[in-house]
Amino acid sequence: MALIQISEPGQSSKPHERKLAVGIDLGTTNSLVATVRSGKAVTLPDEKGEHLLPSVVYYAKDKSILVGTAAKQHKITDPLNTITSVKRYMGRSLEDIKAKESPLHYEFVQTDSNVPRIKTQAGNVSAIEVSAEILSVLKQRAELSLGDELTGAVITVPAYFDDAQRQATKDAARLAGLNVLRLINEPTAAAVAYGLDKISNGVIAVYDLGGGTFDISILRVTQGVFEVLATAGDTALGGDDFDNVIANWIKQQLDLDADIDKSLRNQITHAACQAKQTLTTERSADITIKFPDKEATLTLSREQLNSLIDPLIKKTLLPCRRALRDAQVELEEIKAVVMVGGSTRVLRVRDKVGEFFQQQPMVDSNPDTVVALGAEIQADVLVGNKAESDLLLLDVVPLSLGLETMGELVEKIIPRNTTIPVTRAQDFTTYKDGQTAMSIHVVQGERELVSDCRSLGRFSLKGIPPLVAGSARIRVTFEVDADGLLHVSAREETTGVESGIEVKPSYGLTDSEIEKMLLDSMEHAEEDIAARMLHEQQVEADRVLEALAAALEDDGDILSEQERQKIDAAAQQLAKIKTGNDDRAIKQAMQELDKVAEVFVSRRMDSNIRKAMAGHNVDEFKAQD
Amino acid sequence: MSITLTEKAAEHVKEFFANRGKGVALRLGVKTTGCSGMAYVMEFADSIEDTDEVFESHGVKVIVDKKSLIYLAGTELDYTKEGLNEGFQFNNPNVKDSCGCGESFTV
């Protein structure tokens, strides 16, 4: 017996053609699924009434798989077969994981496909497969709750997720049998849940302080269209740190050493967390710690708590300032501040954020479920259950996308924080005479040299007609779709030969790595530019020598032996200097060579006017001014 | 014969209207489609038409167009939970046979 929901006027669906959509918040610690019932977005509970599904998967010896609370119980007894926080492995290579995690929490197995697998007693599993188990449970819960199969799902991802991580999330959903309508950024979903698409125009901030991570996003809303202007954050800052400072305070008050036993430490951490929660409603909290021989009771006032956590809150305001700067908006332009994440229940956080943004932050919705609800509202629109909706979510690319050019330099095609979907094209040409193929290396990052950026993939364009260097026209197009996935193609314009790649999850970046890359690009700005100039001069020198050699080959006989010796000496000098790291010296050597080769150039012009008219030889010797 | 709501159904209807923030009545109706003849329509209504009959039950205004009323007269609307699923259910005395899914029916 199907149960019926209230539809919008004129939107009643035909039997068996109901368009059921869900929104999924696939979290590091917990996951949620939401749907719309009679026009109202709600998160769906399991049989026991629990809405949050712990993002934990247990692989048993008999190859059975447990997900959620049941899996979590195995964490202590069987940690290697109980996978927690799998989100941090999504779209990442084994090297990435090793660099981040030491010691490794699991035993990893390298595979040919570059997607590492976690060794469990039920077989080796990839992060994508583990995530798919979590998504399967949520899908099943949704289908039982809605009485039919799902049409599609919107899944949220951190704003910082790169292409590989987004692709991995999509793959996990597909593996779970979900039709992904779209991936949207978590802050964007939260803004939608607050109905901020209804405000006509303005800039809003989403402040997301979870258990272990902090994210700030600046969004612009224009007639219901969302555009993420900038994101920033701190991947190692959250509510757990609040608990830690309170726990340290307790230890200090009780004169406890740092090396107390594990059960006492757990007791203190638990008491700290409880006190934090109590203080969201009460002015003071009693903390009781039980020892084998005695009991100690402390009182923590809200004022004391505030002074303990103020330095941590202050740390969240730095990224806020950075995001505002990146977004190029003034504080006065911020029309609303949305609070997301359980830690925003702490009153001091609300006060300080309010103070920073000079306005009352929005705290009406449950900060734990607001992301899933926003995703569902978007999903409902995408399957067509809303009469007239033009809600369209735009996001940004978190790091610049570009390609490698001669001299291992990065040519940025799509700059950081460009809104997506986006398509940008740029024309490139060949470097050598008769060059018939071009290798295209796609990179991500803010630095000037390829070696400092992240390699996303390579492909080659073959079948370029053999022409003089610089005359072939190759158009390279970078396309980032609405899900943030990158497709790069190259096309030789005269023949139309084409080639391209879709970026696959071979590599991935974490928030902290992205942060690091951004910071590095600022810290190394000077040396980067110096390196760029050096490489540019080296490439130029190579090109000059190459062109000179070709010219000498053709017309060397018009020179006297002495003239030839002079040119050769200058060329040798340049060849020697260019291997050094003084860009000015290279430039000077090129000018020297230019001077001694002047005779050759002018004589060549005389003897072969037609060649000179074609221009390329002369140009090559004059370009260094 | 009128259309009625159970108290539980009325509560949920009010909640959904409050969430939507607008609407003047709950529209019930039937349309000729589906695997077994007719299907129920249940929508938020922002206006009442001349052809509508208006009922009131537990403080909820229900409107039904005259053509649909022939098939809905005497119906009681309930709100039920079946496992994890929940929603509205039509207890319609006119129904002779319904398809397995209950989304459509014949009279």
The pLDDT of residue A525: 67
Write the pLDDT tens digit of every residue in B28-46.
988 766 455 678 889 999 9
Q: Which residues of chain B does A38 touch, with a Cβ-Cβ cutoff of 8 Å? A: 12, 16, 87-88
- Could you tell me which residues come within 8 angstroms of residue A266 by beta carbon, excluding any fewer than 6 positions away? none
Q: Read off φ and ψ for residue A555, nearest 5 degrees.
A: -125, 20
Among partner residues B19, B26, B43, which is closest to A12 by beta-carbon distance?
A: B43
Q: Has A87 been annotated as catalytic?
A: yes
The pLDDT of residue A359: 95
**CB atoms near residue A391 (< 10 Å):** 15
Write the pLDDT tens digit of every residue in A347-403.
999 999 999 999 999 988 899 999 999 999 888 887 777 654 545 555 667 778 888
- To which H or E segment does residue B14 belong? helix B7-20
Of A539, A624, A625, A534, nearest in space to A580 by CA? A534
The pLDDT of residue A224: 64
Q: Stretch A50-66: mean pLDDT, rounded? A: 93
CA distance B23 to chain A (A): 10
Pairing of strands A225-234, A392-396: parallel
Rounded CA Rg of chain B = 13
- Beta carbons of A593 and A570 less than 8 angstroms apart: yes
Q: Residue type for A452, please?
A: D
3-state secondary structure of A239: helix
Of A211, A230, A198, A215, nearest in space to A156 by CA? A215
ipTM topping 0.90: no
Angle, nearest 10°, between helix axes A302-327 and A239-253?
Answer: 150
Q: Which residues of chain A does B44 touch, with a Cβ-Cβ cutoff of 8 Å? A: 6-9, 39
Say which range, A37-51, A342-356, A484-498, has the weakest mean pLDDT. A484-498
* Catalytic hit among A208, A227, A483, A528: A208
CA distance B59 to chain A (A): 17
pLDDT interval class at A284 (50, 70, 90): very high
- Cβ contacts below 8 Å, chain A against chain B, sum to 96
Q: Stretch A15-22: mean pLDDT, rounded? A: 76
How buried is residue A520: exposed, middle or buried, by Cβ count under 10 Å (0-12/13-18/19+)?
middle
Per-window interface: B 78-97 vs A, CB < 8 A? 80, 82-90
Instruction: Identify the residue with better confidence: A22 or A237.
Output: A22
- Could you tell me which residues come within 8 angstroms of residue A87 by beta carbon, excluding any fewer than 6 positions away? A26, A27, A28, A55, A127, A131
A438-473 per-residue burial string, b: 16 or more CB within 10 A, e: under 16: bebbbbbbbbbbbebbbebbebebeebeebebbebe
Write the pLDDT tens digit of every residue in A493-537.
888 888 887 764 334 455 555 566 666 766 676 677 777 778 888
Judge whether residue B89 has pLDDT over 70. yes
Say which range, A69-83, A128-142, A153-167, A412-426, has the weakest mean pLDDT. A412-426
The pLDDT of residue A504: 46
The pLDDT > 70 percentage for chain A reads 89
Write the pLDDT tens digit of every residue in A584-616.
888 888 888 888 888 788 777 777 665 555 555
A71-87 per-residue burial string, b: 16 or more CB within 10 A, e: under 16: bbebeeeeeebbbbebb
Judge whether residue A81 has pLDDT over 90. yes
Which one of B13, B86, B98 would you mutate to disrupt binding with A, by most A Cβ within 10 Å of its Cβ? B86
Tell if the CB–CB gap between B101 and A15 is shorter than 8 Å: yes
Rounded CA gap, A429 and A467, in Å? 10
Which residues from A are below 8 Å from B when comparing CB atoms? 1-12, 14-16, 37-40, 44-47, 141, 144-147
Tell if the CB–CB gap between B102 and A39 is shorter than 8 Å: no
Judge whether residue A617 has pLDDT over 70. no
Rounded CA gap, A177 and A307, in Å? 49
Q: What are the tokens at A319?
A: 């990224």
Place of tokens 């000037």: A448
pLDDT interval class at A471 (50, 70, 90): confident
Rounded CA gap, A589 and A15, in Å? 80
On average, the pLDDT of chain A sits at 84
Q: Which residues of chain A does B35 touch, with a Cβ-Cβ cutoff of 8 Å? A: 15-16
- pTM of the full structure: 0.64
Q: Has A566 been annotated as catalytic?
A: no
Tell if the CB–CB gap between A4 and B101 is shorter than 8 Å: no
Of A173, A177, A216, nearest in space to A349 by CA? A216
Q: Has A208 been annotated as catalytic?
A: yes
Rounded CA gap, A238 and A268, in Å? 18
Write the pLDDT tens digit of every residue in A89-119.
998 888 888 887 778 889 998 877 778 899 9
What is the 3-state composition of chain B as percent helix, strand, coil, each rounded to the nearest 5? 20, 45, 35
Rounded CA gap, B55 and B83, in Å? 31
- To which H or E segment does residue A124 belong? strand A123-126
- Beta carbons of A479 and A555 less than 8 angstroms apart: no
Among partner residues B26, B41, B84, which is closest to A145 by beta-carbon distance?
A: B84
Instruction: Identify the residue with better confidence: A76 or A46.
Output: A46
DSSP symbol at A529? H
Q: What are the tokens at A170?
A: 């999509």
Of A552, A584, A587, nearest in space to A568 by CA? A552
pLDDT interval class at A154 (50, 70, 90): very high
Q: Residue type for A226, please?
A: F
Dihedral sign for Cα A568, A569, A573, A574, please: negative
Rounded CA gap, A487 and A368, in Å? 34
The pLDDT of residue A178: 93
Rounded CA gap, B95 and B107, in Å? 5
Write the pLDDT tens digit of every residue in A200-256.
688 999 999 987 778 899 988 876 667 778 888 887 788 888 998 999 999 999 888
Q: What are the tokens at A492?
A: 């030789």
Say which range, A332-341, A361-370, B89-98, has the weakest mean pLDDT. B89-98
Spacing of C-alpha A87 from chain mean position: 13
On average, the pLDDT of chain B sits at 84
Q: Which residues of chain A does B88 touch, with a Cβ-Cβ cutoff of 8 Å? A: 3-6, 38
For A434-574, where are the E strands, in sequence order? 437-444, 454-462, 474-480, 486-492, 498-502
Dihedral angle at the C-alpha atoms of A586, A591, A597, A602, nearest 10 degrees? 140
Q: Which residues of chain B does A5 touch, with a Cβ-Cβ cutoff of 8 Å? A: 42, 87-88
Judge whether residue B9 has pLDDT over 90. yes
Rounded CA gap, A158 and A183, in Å? 10
Q: Has A606 been annotated as catalytic?
A: no
Judge whether residue A624 has pLDDT over 50. no
Say which range, A47-61, A137-151, A356-370, A519-533, has the weakest mean pLDDT. A519-533
Distance from the first to the final alpha carbon of chain A: 83
